């Protein structure tokens, strides 16, 4: 606390990202990074863009990147907004599209950045409880609101809401924006993007951080009706005209174009996830059905905090959330390479060995 801080800064509760430790021999399964790395074409594009042109500002409209994203999704570039990671795109969506009189709605167990943005921008919100089985029930959102936002698949549960349910919500909710955060949609879900043509209140957000293995490059985008996109552009141009640098633009274009790498790596991750689920279940874990690149699991005999600590002693990092209470015994485990998944299971087998004390 400094006496020079503004009242706004004093009131903030910032988001706490997963740990990025410097240790080399770590099995790092705590922040849903992609274990396979980006397409070699991305590296090549960044390398060939690393030259004296860096003295020039990048294209403030990111036209070429928006064109390649539009081509991937069969949309018009006017239906695409890009930002410095989807976190920035989300922040702009909160200010541009979700700040109204009525409170916005999102699940009680969801991406913990949403309440942070809502507080930052002074947006009232209500957290809608997931069902007992940690599912979104769309009827719970059939009420007046200033907007609705949730990840699909949800994070940190990994549970997917069927596309028909997303559409049912759109049919019942025409007067405010529905933001579907599809950070993990490429790992087995069906995207809501095709619904954009029929529902002008739908904004879908994607990131290159997970399925395109570019968390370090910071590229995310929103897809929606051109009017929604124009609202996001107004906020962006009141904040930072150049959120994506030249290298991010070049790398992002190459990532969108290398469909073969994208498909091969995400299918490997989906296959490893299925193996990981079986392995965890064999150790006695309850694992929620996941359509993401992570699983959410708890063990009937061990507290989440204890398991996370014991894994850490064995140099395996997973994510544990203390709150809300009903997920305190779950671990969120990123799907790594086959070798990383095997190392995780071996460590858990050791930790849970019969006769071992579990605090």
Ligand X SMILES: *Cc1c(COP(=O)(O)O)cnc(C)c1O
Binding residues for ligand X, per CB under 6 A?
A: 85-87, 111, 151, 155, 181, 183, 207, 209, 215, 220
Nearer to ligand X, 173 or 334 (CB): 334
Q: How far is the CB of 208 from ligand X (least distance, A)?
A: 7
- As measured in angstroms, the least distance from the Cβ of 183 to ligand X is 4
Closest separation between CB of residue 83 and ligand X, Å?
8
Minimum CB distance to ligand X smaller for 86 or for 201:
86
Residue closer to ligand X (CB basis): 144 or 216: 216
Task: Kindly tell me which of 86 and 145 has the beta carbon lying closer to ligand X.
Answer: 86
* Contacts (Cβ under 8 Å, ≥6 apart) of 221: 66, 69, 80, 81, 82, 83, 86, 89, 205, 206, 207
Least distance to ligand X, CB of residue 92, Å? 12
Residues 183 and 151 sit within 8 Å (Cβ to Cβ): yes
Sign of CA dihedral 231, 151, 214, 90: positive
Residues 209-218 as b/e (b if ≥16 CB within 10 A, e otherwise) read: bbbbbbbebb
Element (H, E) at 174: none
Nearer to ligand X, 87 or 329 (CB): 87
Smallest separation (angstroms) from ligand X to the CB of 82: 11
Three-state secondary structure along 268-331?
HHHHHHHHHHHHHHHCCCEECCCCCCEEEEEECCECHHHHHHHHHHCCEEEEECCCCHHHCCEE
């Amino acid at each position: 606390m400094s006496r020079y801080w503004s009242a706004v800064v004093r009131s903030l509760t910032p988001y706490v990202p997963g740990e990025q430790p410097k240790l080399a021999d770590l099995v790092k399964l705590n922040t849903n990074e992609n274990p396979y790395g980006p397409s070699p074409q991305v590296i090549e594009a960044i390398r060939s863009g690393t030259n004296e042109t860096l003295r020039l500002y990048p294209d403030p409209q990111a036209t070429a990147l928006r064109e390649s994203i539009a081509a991937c999704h069969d949309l018009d570039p006017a239906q695409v907004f890009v930002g410095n990671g989807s976190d920035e795109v989300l922040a702009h969506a909160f200010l541009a599209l979700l700040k109204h009189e009525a409170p916005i709605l999102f699940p009680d167990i969801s991406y913990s950045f949403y309440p942070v943005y809502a507080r930052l921008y002074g947006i009232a919100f209500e957290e809608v409880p997931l069902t007992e089985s940690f599912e979104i029930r769309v009827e719970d959102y059939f009420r007046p609101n200033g907007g609705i936002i949730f990840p699909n698949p949800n994070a940190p549960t990994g549970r997917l809401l069927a596309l028909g349910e997303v559409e049912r919500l759109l049919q019942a909710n025409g007067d405010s924006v529905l933001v579907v955060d599809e950070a993990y949609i490429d790992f087995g879900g069906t995207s809501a993007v095709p619904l954009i043509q029929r529902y002008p209140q739908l904004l879908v957000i994607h990131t290159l951080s997970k399925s395109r293995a570019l968390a370090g490059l910071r590229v995310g985008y929103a897809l929606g009706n051109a009017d929604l996109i124009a609202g996001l552009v107004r906020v962006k141009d009141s904040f930072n005209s150049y959120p994506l640098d030249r290298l991010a633009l070049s790398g992002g274009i190459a990532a969108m174009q290398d469909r073969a790498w994208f498909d091969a790596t995400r299918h490997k991750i989906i296959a490893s996830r299925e193996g990981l689920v079986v392995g965890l279940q064999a150790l006695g874990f309850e694992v929620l059905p996941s359509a993401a690149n992570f699983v959410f699991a708890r063990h009937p005999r061990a507290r989440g905090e204890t398991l996370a600590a014991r894994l850490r002693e064995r140099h395996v990092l997973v994510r544990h959330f203390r709150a809300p209470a009903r997920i305190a015994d779950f671990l969120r485990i990123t799907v790594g390479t086959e070798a990383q998944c095997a190392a995780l299971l071996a460590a858990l087998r050791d930790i849970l060995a019969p006769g071992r004390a579990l605090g």
